[in-house]
Chain A
């Protein structure tokens, strides 16, 4: 059965039911499939073609074979960009997920105040660019309000976005601020589906709050966790807006994450072909990551079935 091709599957004599199911399935995904083909698949194929050309957007593309890929292999800044994006994900995701999870649990077990819930979602209502500008304003080492607090407490002035060693972590912090409410809301949804009696039973047996969290909450939250991780990791890997506004890849290239470098090549250096080649590499990395995650996700679904 498994080896049957799609066509013979459709024409199987016995499966009238299966045929209507197939038909309905395609009908239901059709609008999304049109959107996907027009605005994702075709541009991606086009970009794949462009990755073999020298194209500055303004003149006609010129075919140059694998030159872009060879250049990429030898381009230290490309590898640095990949490395910085990877660091960024490491700086961003664990803390963001942990804080989101903590907030979700707190909102589930500690307080059900609607005010608390609304407040933690507020930062997400502002756009990336505005959030970046607000923090740029507050984090200025000399004029910013954050440093005035730090120095009034007797600590040294911190350069934050101006320091090569702090800039990437600062950008991660800004985005954690914006996204932790969203993550918390997603987790909260998952938490609310965990049957109450499990906690009650555990409490009778004398389990502590921490033990309940570890043995009930965490395992039952796995499907949500996977959804949050897939979407937030891919989101973080594509970090660009905040970098462009706050540090423009600097200081000393320390925040030149891969998407920033790609966009720099495309729109400042007018090297669209090279930018396309790097985008292909980035896609490949992300698709591999997702495949792994999808595996994990499928496993978790069957666990709970």
Chain B
């Protein structure tokens, strides 16, 4: 009886905490949406209101480039023309290439680190993990110059190059998973004369679809939000990704305010594809990541 009671109280408290966390999680997103729905001239007057005053879709219209320069300047915007569909397409290409290439390359390396014995295994893996510790400012300029020397500025190649082969996080994540995979199947295949590569490709990969999708999704989210690199490498409109196209909504002058309503509308729109991604792969990501070494 007492156990039952204690259990219940414990659960109720947990539910309460969970409810608070969920409210705290959702509230800022609501404020973002609410602000996006307000006319720009009202945001400072009603910044503390919980509901949009005079709701309007004008901010979404100007983010999508549906208004003329003069109209969007009047609505408090930057007047910069955003070719939304092109930027969206560029973002999809940029993110897509990196997701596919980085996942494949990381999976191969992670499997080798987890399963194969070769000289330097631990050392190289250690270096890969350590690469996560290198501050971006160190690699930024040399990488930029390298891309320029290769003639890859304003090309898809230049945009994806630093990301598509290697990121410490992905290799680390997948290695942890491969370590936890039961060895029996692979050993059986090896005794039957299968090559290491065949085992990796035909046994390990099919067994790891879930973590592969998980890491692909995480890479996708991060790359979708990447700003500085594509901004510097691909300024031409033909290659602009969404984050770059939408940067006009940030602060324009040294002391100026960002275009708040436009910014919030832009954020809301740009996050939609990632939500879509979550819905498609969501079950895998949130339901059954098979990661862990606890077996």
Contact = CB atoms under 8 A, between A and B. Distances in A.
Partners in one complex: yes
Given A39-B162, A106-B17, A133-B258, 10 more contacts: A25-B112, A26-B112, A36-B131, A125-B221, A137-B260, A143-B47, A181-B25, A189-B292, A230-B172, A238-B135
B48 A24 contact: no
A81 to B, nearest CB: 12
5 closest pairs, A vs B, by CB?
A35-B165, A35-B166, A189-B289, A127-B225, A286-B133
Interface in A20-41: 20-22, 24-29, 31-36, 38-41
A202 to B, nearest CB: 12
A221 B139 contact: no
Interface stretch (B52-60, B61-69, B114-122): B114-122
Interface in A78-137: 99, 102-103, 106, 110-111, 114, 116-130, 133-135, 137
B241 to A, nearest CB: 12
Interface string B1-42: 001001100110011011001101110110110010000000
B139 A43 contact: yes
Interface string A219-241: 01101100100110010011010
B105 A35 contact: yes
B114 to A, nearest CB: 10
Interface stretch (A65-73, A158-166, A259-267): A259-267
B260 to A, nearest CB: 6
A123 B137 contact: no
A152 to B, nearest CB: 9
A133 B263 contact: yes
Interface of B: 3, 6-7, 10-11, 14-15, 17-18, 21-22, 24-26, 28-29, 31-32, 35, 44, 47-48, 50, 104-106, 108-109, 111-113, 116-121, 124, 126-139, 141-143, 146, 161-162, 164-166, 169, 171-173, 176, 179-180, 195-197, 200, 214, 218, 221, 225, 227, 243, 250, 258, 260, 263-264, 267, 271, 274-275, 278-279, 282-283, 285-295
A22 B32 CA distance: 53
Contacts of A283: 130, 133-135, 138
A21 B278 contact: no
A170 interface: no
A35 B170 CA distance: 13
Contacts of B282: 114, 118
Contacts of B264: 134
A296 interface: no
B146 A22 contact: no
A145 B31 contact: yes
B119 A9 contact: yes
Given A130-B267, A143-B48, A223-B292, A29 B109 contact: yes
Nearest to A106: B18
B116 A223 contact: no
A28 B274 contact: no
A137 B196 CA distance: 55
B111 A6 contact: no
A31 B258 contact: no
Nearest to B198: A24
A209 B197 contact: no
A210 interface: yes
Nearest to B210: A189
A231 B169 contact: yes
A190 B225 CA distance: 27
Given A43-B139, A181-B25, A272-B141, A38 B146 contact: yes
A56 interface: no
Given A21-B196, A189-B290, A275 B137 contact: yes
Given A44-B134, A117-B286, A188-B289, A36 B227 contact: no
A213 to B, nearest CB: 10
Q: Which of A28, A46, A118 neighbours the largest number of chain B CB atoms within 10 Å of its CB?
A: A28
Contacts of A114: 282-283, 286-287
A10 interface: yes
A273 B290 CA distance: 45
Nearest to A117: B286
Given A209-B10, A227-B172, A10 B129 contact: no
Contacts of B25: 119-120, 122-123, 177, 181
Contacts of A117: 286-287
A188 B284 CA distance: 12
B278 A46 contact: no
Given A110-B14, A137-B35, A10 B119 contact: yes
Given A10-B119, A221-B294, A290-B129, A118 B134 contact: no
Nearest to A116: B22
B141 A57 contact: yes
A253 interface: no
B142 A42 contact: yes
Contact of A190 (B15, B218, B279, B294): B294
Contacts of B180: 193, 223
